């Protein structure tokens, strides 16, 4: 790597995985851009009723 | 990189999510959130809890934007948030790393003519069924047939159909729709999640409908290889009475009268069975959309044939291109906890690559010095929010404001249109300063979302953020009593009076700074532990690896190849070298842990290295103690050297053992010690491992007879391709029942294995030269270690993580993390993912070194009153109270502010009334109760 | 209003029931206006004294939820 590194990360996709990547990075000292194609974050998990194997509410 | 920002047509800075716009909106389109089971208006919010909770307009459905008619939403919006002139924006970002987490698309079964999903009303997808079960779904959780009909049909045709609508009595799930299938679609992989979600949907459906509902799941292999999954599956069978039928249903015929569905299938004995169901749920797989593939092409990263990102087992979140990482289902089909692990692992990988520029772009908000208000007479400011018409439309806000001004200690009462808007906040700061307010009450929406915002406002006005009280006159009042404005106004007054009474007693609270020792102890020098240590070291933190053996590497030292065919020893020795060469990592071999004191940020551990005891101070701990193969004598293991465990076969491959050349007939027995009453879990790795070794034997000698005796083949994700390859190479798979296990007899020339063939329904005897037993993986079940860190173990001895879904790499004990097979058996790539994830989670704590504070709302002991009875010490779930061991008050209780979560259990339990919960103290709660007793 | 106004004091746990009451509002459900919510950090914070005191102050019922 010759060019100077930038202390920011772009995360593409605002589902459960993207959101948590973004949170971890932001909380450890990086500037994060979270990019989501829809009008809100949450992804497919927000559509689920319950989650296995604990039957917790997905929301 | 360049990002295209699509217009929302609603100004986020103005929208207050009141919903007035949707009431009159004439545009309609399919509600994707509800799996298109209903329609929604063109101006919409995806779901009530959406973040950001701001409306958006779908430009394809909006009449104003398509035909320049309408414009109603702009007229009715009380916040003037609608802007039809918004356009696309191009944003250019300079970035160090990129993480791709685009997710998946549920498989669309419309093209399967045999199930007629597109035509038959009662054939639904699992995603649609998920919405039918949901209380926020189109039927509010009530499962009915003809689910796509509107609740109140208007069209004549729909009305006729709606008469046939009923509560289903029989529902069937068809597994592997769009997965493990190359005939009807091109998805050879297993989607990994469908077996479990089908079981879940069946259980929940039965919970909703009661005992009368008959649920059947038609499957090929039941794949429940995750933590606590096998028990869930067994419970579904035994406790919930769900039928599991091993059969692939060929086709579905609809009864044109009733809409019922007739099916025909061959049962396990080959008998044709005919049945009728009210509803059929297609368990659709996870698919990478064409859009995502095209997007991957833009990034120029390699994909597998099925469109998933190509990653290696040793760098499981790193794509083929430098600086681009991947996480979630795009990185192979996976469930939520695995996606969560991927997320943290990707953050760790992206962060490691940018370690030297960490903290260069983040910004700190300058703090305003705090005014000392101790001893001052309360001067309360009350701010009543109209929330546009959301509150003011029901509650008489001017009246409430007037009333608030008459309450004791109230200096100022103000009505504001939107208390949360920036200008209102600025004004609040101004008023606080001007009038010298020292307590603030906001009557608006919910403190759960808005309390932090107002607390920041207090801080910027120089007030301690705990001098604040919020009361909810919207969600708990105007929104739920909209037809009773008078009563709602009275209620608002009551709520304001209660809040003012409590605020008068508010004290400035201190948040104690938590000192974080910036070094880390990793227990276990296997793959997961080493990966966690390497990542933390690369971020500059001193890391100690505690390994009880004399070498690093753990169980991975015994492995030959990964599921992707990589040489384990080659990669492992490179990793060991890297760890040993790091000047930030201290490796303690031949070392055991003898004791741990302290708490997050401040642990002191006693280490024993060859009899010498030393102390190690560390802020964080990672437990990566791993698992090992079960030692058993089942199937004559240990009695004959032709009967070996899996790891011995790996050793033979690694060492190129000449004995392998002699083998003419090899046989594998799966589930040796797994999925049995004694060990009711699936060991997850064995199916893939045996299939992979079977292929290697076939490749070595194509004439060799290779058999695998199994219960369910669980080659999840793209591991399924190995299963397919093994069958193509002529490996013979014979299924057995746990109630009728294979019999192994050692004979002179061979080992005779007798098993009942599931196709012939006859016992067959196979003469094998080599029998490999896929022995279970068992945890080390270190109760002492668990006690040291106060972390729980499950019945089988695996560590119990903080949260099965959202906290898979950490414990409920702050500052302690988990990785590797000690958590649950896992293959190389997953152990490494979890190692990275644990490092990433740990880093979020370490990075806050100077800004980690306890909460202000915690318990504290009045030592004068404490009778040292010990109730608080024994009752606290977080071990926060303890007896003081020295000083004037020795023997009395003291609450550790770092461990206290502020639940108040000890406060309520204290017999002497010696414990106070700051922010929710007894006198404050009483003041609310007393205030209620008064009348406005 | 001919009926007597009744008052129910509800102690709601911040993490579950309080949020549920918020959601009832978001979902625009309607229910009688007799409830006055006191937010507590956890139902473990509840003390019998709060219940007795609420009744003494004229509450017709006390509801603890968490």
Q: Is residue C50 part of a domain?
A: no
The pLDDT, as a whole number, for residue A47 is 94
Q: How many CA atoms lie within 13 A of C36 on its CB side?
A: 32
**Selected residue of B493, B871, B932 to mutate for chain C interface (largest C Cβ count, 10 A):** B932
- Interchain CB distance below 8 Å, B840 and A28: yes
Partner B, chain A 19-58, Cβ-Cβ below 8 Å: 19-31, 33, 35, 37-56
Dihedrals phi, psi of B740, to nearest 5 degrees: -140, 70
Q: How many CA atoms lie within 13 A of B570 on its CB side?
A: 7
- Interchain CB distance below 8 Å, B494 and C42: no
| CB distance B724 to B684 below 8 Å | no
Tell me the whole-structure pTM to 2 decimals: 0.88
Class of domain B2-94 as given by CATH = alpha beta
Q: How many CA atoms lie within 13 A of B33 on its CB side?
A: 23
| Cα B493 from chain centre | 41
Query: Rounded CA gap, B540 and B537, in Å?
Result: 5
Task: Provide the domain count of chain A.
Answer: 1
Q: Say if domain B859-917 classifies as CATH 3.40.50.261.
A: no
Contacts of B472 in chain C (CB under 8 A): 21-22, 37
- The CATH code of the domain at B105-287 is 3.50.50.60
Q: How does pLDDT run across B294-350, given as a tens digit for each residue?
A: 999 999 999 999 999 999 999 999 999 999 999 999 999 999 999 999 999 999 999
Contacts of A42 in chain B (CB under 8 A): 46-47, 49-51
- Interchain CB distance below 8 Å, B328 and A52: no
Q: Is residue C49 part of a domain?
A: no
| CB distance B161 to B268 below 8 Å | no
In angstroms, what CA-CA distances link B757 with B209, B707, B733, B762, B910? 39, 12, 10, 6, 66
Give, rounded to a whole angstrom, the gap between the first and last alpha carbons of chain B. 60
The kind and range of the H/E element at A11 are strand A8-12
**Selected residue of B342, B343, B353, B833 to mutate for chain A interface (largest A Cβ count, 10 A):** B343
Q: Is residue C48 part of a domain?
A: no
Q: Fold identical between B520-626+780-846 and B630-776?
A: yes
The pLDDT, as a whole number, for residue B936 is 58
Which stretches in chain A have pLDDT values below 70? 1-3
**Which one of 3.30.1460, 3.40.50, 3.90.25, 3.30.530 gives the CATH number of domain B380-504?**
3.40.50
**Selected residue of A39, A54, A56, A59 to mutate for chain B interface (largest B Cβ count, 10 A):** A39
pLDDT, mean of each 10-residue run, chain B (936 residues)? 92 85 92 92 89 91 94 92 94 94 96 91 96 88 90 87 93 97 93 98 91 94 97 95 95 93 92 95 97 94 96 97 97 97 97 92 82 92 90 95 96 92 88 96 92 93 96 95 93 96 94 90 98 97 97 97 97 98 97 93 95 96 97 96 97 96 97 96 98 97 97 97 97 96 96 91 95 97 92 94 93 93 98 98 89 88 94 91 93 92 93 94 95 80
Q: Is residue C51 part of a domain?
A: no
* HEC assignment per residue over B740-760: ECCEEEECCCCEEEEEEECCC
Closest Cβ opposite residue B448 in set C1, C22, C47:
C22
The pLDDT, as a whole number, for residue A3 is 57
- Interchain CB distance below 8 Å, A17 and B841: no
The pLDDT, as a whole number, for residue C42 is 93
Q: Is residue C1 part of a domain?
A: yes
Query: Rounded CA gap, B566 and C18, in Å?
Result: 52
Q: Is residue C60 part of a domain?
A: no
Closest Cβ opposite residue B95 in set A9, A49, A50:
A9
Q: Is residue A3 part of a domain?
A: no
Is residue C1 scored above 50 in pLDDT?
no
Q: Name the interface residues of B facing C (CB cutoff 8 Å).
A: 48-49, 136, 446-448, 472, 474-477, 479-484, 487-488, 490-491, 494-495, 498, 857, 902-905, 907-908, 917, 919-920, 922, 925-926, 928-930, 932-933
Residue with tokens 């990547």, as numbered in its chain: A21
Closest CA to B799 of B516, B520, B536, B524: B524
Supply the range of the domain harboring residue A44: 9-57
**Pairing label, strands B627-629, B705-710:** unpaired
- Interchain CB distance below 8 Å, B480 and C26: no
Query: Rounded CA gap, B224 and B452, in Å?
Result: 41
**Which one of 3.50.50.60, 3.30.420.40, 3.50.30.30, 3.40.50.300 gives the CATH number of domain B630-776?**
3.50.50.60
Plot region of B913 (φ>0 → left; ψ -120 to 50 → alpha; else → beta): left
| CB distance B860 to B512 below 8 Å | no
Q: Exposed (0-12), middle (13-18) or buried (19+): which is B36, by Cβ within 10 Å?
A: middle
Number of A/B CB contacts below 8 angstroms equals 217
- Interchain CB distance below 8 Å, B933 and C29: no
Whether residue A2 lies within 8 A of chain B, CB to CB, comes out as no
Omega before B52 cis (within 30°)? Answer: yes
Chains in contact with A, counting 3 or more C-beta pairs less than 8 Å apart as contact:
B
Closest Cβ opposite residue C36 in set B49, B488, B932:
B932
Supply the range of the domain harboring residue C4: 1-42
Residues 6+ apart with CB under 8 A from B227: A53, B337, B681, B798, B804, B823, B824
Is residue C2 scored above 90 in pLDDT?
no
């Amino acid at each position: 790597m010759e060019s100077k590194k930038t202390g920011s990360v772009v995360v593409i996709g605002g589902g459960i995985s993207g959101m948590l990547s973004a949170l971890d990075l932001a909380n450890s000292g990086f500037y994060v851009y979270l990019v989501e194609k829809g009008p809100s974050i949450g992804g497919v998990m927000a559509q689920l009723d319950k989650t296995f194997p604990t039957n917790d509410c997905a929301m | 990189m360049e990002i295209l920002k699509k217009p929302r047509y609603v100004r986020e800075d103005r929208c207050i999510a009141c919903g007035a716009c949707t009431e009159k909106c004439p545009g309609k389109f399919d509600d994707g959130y509800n799996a298109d089971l209903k329609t929604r208006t063109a101006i919409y919010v995806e779901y009530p809890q959406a973040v950001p909770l701001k409306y958006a307009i779908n430009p394809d459905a909006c009449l104003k934007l398509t035909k320049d008619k309408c414009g109603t939403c702009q007229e009715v919006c009380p916040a003037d948030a609608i802007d039809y002139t918004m356009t696309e924006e191009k944003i250019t970002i300079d970035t160090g790393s990129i993480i791709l987490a685009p997710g998946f698309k549920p498989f669309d079964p419309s093209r399967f003519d045999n199930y007629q999903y597109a035509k038959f009303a009662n054939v639904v997808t699992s995603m649609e069924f998920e919405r039918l079960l949901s209380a926020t779904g189109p039927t509010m959780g009530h499962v009915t047939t003809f689910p796509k009909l509107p609740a109140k049909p208007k069209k004549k045709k729909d009305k006729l159909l709606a008469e046939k609508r009923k509560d289903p009595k029989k529902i069937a799930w068809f597994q592997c729709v769009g997965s493990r299938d190359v005939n009807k679609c091109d998805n050879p992989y297993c989607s990994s999640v469908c077996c479990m979600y089908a079981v879940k949907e069946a259980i929940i459906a039965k919970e909703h409908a009661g005992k009368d509902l008959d649920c059947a799941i038609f499957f090929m292999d039941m794949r429940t290889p995750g933590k606590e999954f096998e028990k869930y599956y067994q419970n579904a069978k035994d406790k919930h009475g769900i039928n599991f039928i091993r059969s692939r249903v060929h086709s579905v015929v609809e009864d044109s009268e009733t809409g019922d569905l007739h099916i025909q299938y061959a049962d396990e004995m080959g008998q044709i069975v005919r049945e009728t169901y009210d509803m059929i749920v297609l368990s659709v797989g996870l698919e990478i959309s064409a859009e995502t593939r095209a997007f991957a092409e833009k990034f120029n990263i390699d994909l597998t044939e099925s469109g998933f990102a190509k990653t290696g087992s040793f760098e499981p979140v790193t794509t083929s291109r430098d600086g681009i990482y991947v996480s979630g289902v795009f990185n192979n089909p996976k469930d939520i906890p695995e996606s969560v692990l991927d997320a943290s692992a990707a953050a760790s990988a992206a962060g490691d690559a940018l370690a030297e520029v960490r903290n260069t772009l983040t910004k700190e908000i300058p703090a305003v010095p705090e005014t000392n208000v101790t001893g001052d007479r309360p001067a309360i400011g009350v701010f009543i929010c109209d929330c546009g018409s959301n509150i003011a439309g029901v509650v008489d806000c001017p009246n409430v404001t007037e009333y608030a001004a008459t309450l004791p200690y109230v200096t100022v009462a103000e009505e504001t249109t939107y208390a949360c808007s920036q200008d209102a906040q600025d004004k609040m700061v101004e008023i606080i300063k001007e009038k010298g307010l020292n307590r603030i009450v906001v009557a608006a929406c919910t403190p759960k979302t808005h309390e932090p915002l107002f607390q920041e406002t207090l801080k910027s006005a120089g007030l301690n953020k705990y001098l604040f009280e919020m009361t909810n006159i919207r969600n708990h009042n105007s929104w739920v009593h909209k037809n009773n404005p008078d009563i709602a106004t009275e209620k608002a007054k009551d709520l304001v009076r209660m809040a003012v009474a409590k605020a008068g007693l508010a004290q400035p609270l201190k948040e104690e700074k938590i000192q974080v020792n910036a070094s880390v102890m990793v227990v276990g020098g296997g793959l997961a532990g080493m990966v966690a240590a390497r990542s933390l070291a690369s971020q500059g933190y001193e890391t100690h690896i505690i390994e009880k053996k004399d070498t690093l590497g753990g169980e991975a030292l015994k492995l030959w190849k990964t599921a992707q065919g990589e040489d384990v020893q080659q990669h492992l020795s490179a990793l060991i070298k890297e760890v040993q060469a790091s000047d930030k990592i201290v490796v303690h071999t031949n070392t055991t842990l003898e004791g741990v004191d302290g708490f997050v940020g401040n642990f002191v551990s006693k280490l024993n290295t060859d009899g010498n005891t030393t102390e190690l101070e560390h802020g964080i701990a990672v437990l990566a103690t791993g698992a090992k193969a079960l030692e058993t004598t089942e199937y004559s293991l240990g009695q004959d050297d032709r009967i070996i465990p899996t790891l011995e076969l790996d050793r033979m491959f690694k060492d190129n053992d000449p004995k392998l050349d002699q083998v003419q007939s090899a046989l594998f027995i799966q589930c040796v010690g797994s999925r049995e009453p004694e060990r009711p879990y699936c060991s997850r790795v064995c199916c893939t491992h045996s299939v992979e070794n079977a292929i290697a034997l076939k490749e070595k000698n194509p004439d060799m007879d290779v058999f695998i005796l199994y219960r369910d083949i669980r080659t999840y994700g793209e591991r399924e391709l190995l299963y397919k390859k093994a069958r193509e190479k002529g490996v013979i798979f014979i299924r057995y029942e746990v109630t009728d296990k294979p019999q192994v007899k050692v004979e002179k020339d061979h080992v005779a294995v007798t098993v009942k063939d599931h196709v012939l329904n006859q016992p067959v005897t196979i003469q094998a030269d080599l029998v490999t037993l896929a022995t279970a993986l068992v945890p080390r079940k270190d109760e002492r270690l668990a006690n040291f860190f106060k972390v729980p173990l499950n019945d089988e001895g695996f560590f119990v993580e903080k949260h099965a879904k959202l906290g898979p790499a950490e414990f409920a004990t702050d500052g302690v993390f988990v990785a590797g097979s000690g958590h649950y058996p896992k293959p190389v790539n997953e152990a490494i993912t979890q190692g990275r994830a644990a490092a990433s989670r740990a880093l979020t704590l370490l990075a806050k070194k100077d800004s980690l504070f306890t909460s202000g709302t915690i318990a504290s002991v009045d030592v004068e009153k404490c009778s040292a009875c010990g109730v608080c010490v024994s009752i606290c779930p977080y071990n926060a109270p303890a007896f003081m061991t020295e000083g004037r008050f020795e023997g009395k209780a003291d609450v550790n502010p770092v461990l206290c979560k502020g639940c108040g259990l000890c406060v309520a339990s204290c017999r002497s009334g010696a414990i106070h919960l700051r922010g929710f103290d007894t006198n404050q709660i009483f003041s609310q109760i007393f205030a209620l007793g008064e009348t406005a | 209003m001919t009926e007597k106004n009744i008052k129910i004091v509800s102690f709601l746990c911040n993490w579950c029931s309080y949020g549920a009451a918020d959601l009832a509002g978001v979902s625009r459900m309607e229910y009688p206006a007799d409830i006055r919510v006191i937010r507590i950090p956890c139902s473990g914070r509840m003390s019998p004294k709060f219940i007795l005191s609420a009744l003494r102050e004229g509450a017709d019922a006390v509801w603890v939820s968490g």
